[in-house]
Structure 1
Amino acid sequence: MLPAQNRMTRSTEFGATVSRGTRAAQPDLVVYCVRSDQTEDIGPRVGLVVSKAVGNAVQRHQVSRRLRHVARTVLPELHPADRVVIRALPGSRQAVSPRLEKELRTALQRIRTRSGASS
């Protein structure tokens, strides 16, 4: 489970991250990341988007749980001002957690390389 201070909950925050963020696609995920300019940042914030294209409610919930677990493992590597949205693609339904973690790390590394960020 993601700690409460690391959860993205507002739709405006999701929208800003997706529209202004750098995008990196993987076979089972699309990751958007933007560095916030707010000063009260207490840590990186992560949001999940798991649409009905992924599957029924049970399947979407399973994917969400796996993604939350995977996102928690990368939190220490993120800058406190980072905002990350992870969008699950239909293939994520069959993907196991280690594969999802590898894809998330690869996507975040691509975003860091593109944006020239060192952390």
Structure 2
Amino acid sequence: MLPREHRLTSSRDHRDTMRQGVRAGGGGVMVAVRFRAPSSPRETSWRCGLVVSKAVGNAVVRHRIQRRLRHIVFGLMREGAVAVPTDARLDMVIRAFPEIVDLDHLRLRAEVLRCAQRALQKSSRKAEKL
């Protein structure tokens, strides 16, 4: 489970990240990232939210997918595989599509990592233009 400080808990944060963030998808997942201004110096550098709809499967399947995604995201962030600048605050939302059910752990991890890195690259290019 993700620690509380690393979870997107409000629907407003989810909505803002999905609408204002930069998205990249493929292979059963879509990742949206949005950089935000720090509200306090003790705030963590990243937060993550998950969207797994009923289209993915019944409750048992959806909860299994959520557990797998939480485990993957926490591992990627702890390892530093998703590079977040030290002074930046990142919100990330991962949306699962029905194809995700057929992916094994390694393939799912690779897809989440690839989509997150692409979204971060798009975000940095967008910031450079401004």
After TM superposition, the score normalised by the length of structure 2 is 0.83
Percent identity (aligned): 36
2:97 is aligned with 1:94: no
Tell me which moved more, 59-68 or 40-49.
40-49
Asked if structure 1 preserves the Cα contact closer than 8 Å seen for 2:33 and 2:120, the reply is no
Tell me which moved more, 1-10 or 32-41.
32-41
- 1:47-76 alpha-carbon deviations (Å, 9 max, x no partner): 000000000000001101100001101224
State how far apart, in whole Å, the 1-side matches of 2:67 and 2:103 are. Answer: 12
State how far apart, in whole Å, the 2-side matches of 1:88 and 1:3 are. Answer: 21
Among candidates 50, 64, 67, match of residue 66 of structure 2 = 64
State how far apart, in whole Å, the 2-side matches of 1:112 and 1:61 are. Answer: 27
Show structure 1 runs of 4+ deviating over 6 A: none
Tell me which moved more, 74-83 or 93-102.
74-83
- SS of residue paired to 2:33: strand
State the structure with more CA Rg: 2
State how far apart, in whole Å, the 1-side matches of 2:31 and 2:61 are. Answer: 20
Asked if structure 1 preserves the Cα contact closer than 8 Å seen for 2:5 and 2:44, the reply is yes
**Which residue number corresponds to residue 5 of structure 1?**
5
**Which residue number corresponds to residue 43 of structure 1?**
45
Shift in Å, 1:37: 1.5
The total of aligned residue pairs comes to 117
Structure 2: 5+ residue runs without aligned partners? Answer: 126-130
2:29 is aligned with 1:29: yes
- 1:60-104 alpha-carbon deviations (Å, 9 max, x no partner): 011011000011012243535000000000011121221111011
Among candidates 108, 119, 124, match of residue 111 of structure 1 = 119
Structure 1: 5+ residue runs without aligned partners? Answer: none
Residue identity matched to 1:49: V
State how far apart, in whole Å, the 1-side matches of 2:4 and 2:106 are. Answer: 24
Tell me which moved more, 106-115 or 4-13.
106-115
**Which residue number corresponds to residue 91 of structure 2?**
83
